[in-house]
Amino acid sequence: MNIDAVDFFYAAMPEVTLEADGSQDALLVRVRAGDHEGWGECEASPLTSIAAFVTPRSHGVCQPVAASVIGERLDGPADIRRIAALVERNSMDLLQAAHTWSGIEIALWDLLGRARDEPVWRMLGYATTEGKLPYASLLFGADPQATRERARDQVAAGYRAVKFGWGSFGTGDPRIDADHLVAAREGLGDDGILLVDAGQIWGDDAARASRRLAALQEARATWLEEPFVPHAFAAYAELAAAAGSVGIAGGEGAHTVHMATNLIDYGRVRFVQIDAARIGGIGPAWDVAQHAVAKGVTFVNHTFTSHLALSASLQPFAGLADHRIAEFPVEPKAVALAISTTRLHPDHNGEIRAPDAPGLGVDVDLAALTPYLRDVEILIDGERAFRSPTAEGTTPKVKATTKA
C-alpha cells in the first residue's frame, strides 16, 4: 500500500498558561493508505510542526517532511525505517523535522498494526507485553504542605510511585527544595517510590545540582531527572559520579538516537527516559531500549499528555520484564483526555500494559476533540500550502510539494 495522505489536527485548551504542562495542546497525526488509517501524536509545538511538513524546500537537504513521506510504499516495518532515513537525509537542515516525523512514524506503526491485526509491540519482536508500575507524574506544590498533600492524594488513589517536578524546585534556596523533598517523602510514606524532575534547571552547572544531593539521598529519591540540558554529557557524568544512591535520569529531550545513547555512554545516566513522540517515533525509541538493556541502564517511557501518546511510549519496551517503571499522566488537561475513547487503566496489581490490540490499541475520538480544534490555513503567495481538516476528518485539497 502507498501512503496517500497525512493529516494534522491541532487542538488546544481555550487558554494555554505558563505552567510546565505539556497537555495543554496537541498535534494529532492521521496517516491514510488505501482503506487503512493510523494515528499518532507529536510532542512539540503544533504550528511549527505543521509548517515543517509543508514548508517550501530551501535546498536539497532542507526539504519539507512531506517530500519524503507522501506516496511512499508501506508494506512492513522495514518501510518505516526506510522512510525515516529519507526524512533524516532530505530534511537534515530542518530542525523541527524530527518532531514532525515522530507523530507520523507512530501513526505508520498504528496503521500497519491495524492492517495486519497485530499490536505494535509484537511487530517489534516482543512475545508478550509485560506489566509496568505506573508513577503518577505531577508538578511540585506551591509550598511544601501542598506537595505533601499531593503525595498523599496519589497514595490514596493507589499509586506506589510519584514523581514531582518543576515548580520552584532548583530555582532558589536549596533548603526550600529540601523542605519539599521532606514533605514528599512524608506524604508518600516509607514504602512509596519518590522521583524528582528538575526540568533542566541547572543548565550544565553540576556544582549547583550537587547542593541538592544530600537532601535527595535523605528523602530516598530513586532518581533526579533532567538536572541539565539534554546534551550536557560531561555535567551528567560529573553529577552521576557524586550522586551515590540517587540515580541520574534523562533523555526526554533527545530527538535523535545518538543524543540518548550518548547520555548512557558518556553521561552515565542510570535511567534513560525516551519520548517516542520526540525522538523520531517508536522505532528509534526501541533502538534506545535495546542499547539500554546492553548497558545495564533502565529504560523508562516519557509521556505527559494523552493515552494515545501513552500507548506509543509503552510499545518500545513493552516486552522488557526487567524494565518495569513507567510514567503515567494523572492530571492531563481536558484536551488530552478528549483525544481518545480508550484509557489505559492500572489493573488489579496496580500495573499498566501496552494494549493487546491491533496497532496502538487506542481509538481516537474526533467528535470529542472538536471543541478544542484550531483552524489553521497556511498560504504562500496566495496558494494554500495547508488547511486544517474539518471536524468530520476530511482534508481540503492542498498543493503537493514536488520531489527533486
Q: Distance (Å, rounded) from C-alpha 169 to C-alpha 147? A: 11
* CB contact set of 79 (below 8 Å; sequence gap of 6+): 72, 73
Q: Distance (Å, rounded) from C-alpha 284 to C-alpha 328? A: 21
pLDDT for the residue numbered 20: 79
Phi/psi at 141 (5° precision): -70, 170
- Which has the closest alpha carbon to 354: 161, 126, 136? 126
pLDDT for the residue numbered 311: 98
* CB contact set of 88 (below 8 Å; sequence gap of 6+): 97
pLDDT for the residue numbered 120: 98
How far lies 281's CA from each of 51, 66, 98, in Å? 19, 16, 9
pLDDT for the residue numbered 331: 84
Q: What's the predicted TM-score (pTM) here? A: 0.94
pLDDT for the residue numbered 391: 62
pLDDT for the residue numbered 399: 37
pLDDT for the residue numbered 137: 87
- Which has the closest alpha carbon to 170: 217, 222, 228? 228
Among all chains, which residue has been given the C-alpha cell 557524586?
Answer: 242
Q: Distance (Å, rounded) from C-alpha 322 to C-alpha 160? A: 18
Domains, the chain, in order of start with CATH, read 5-119+363-387 (3.30.390.10), 123-338 (3.20.20.120)
Percent of the chain beyond pLDDT 70? 97
Flag residues of the chain having pLDDT under 70.
391-404
Element (H or E) spanning 268, and its range? none
Phi/psi at 229 (5° precision): -60, 155
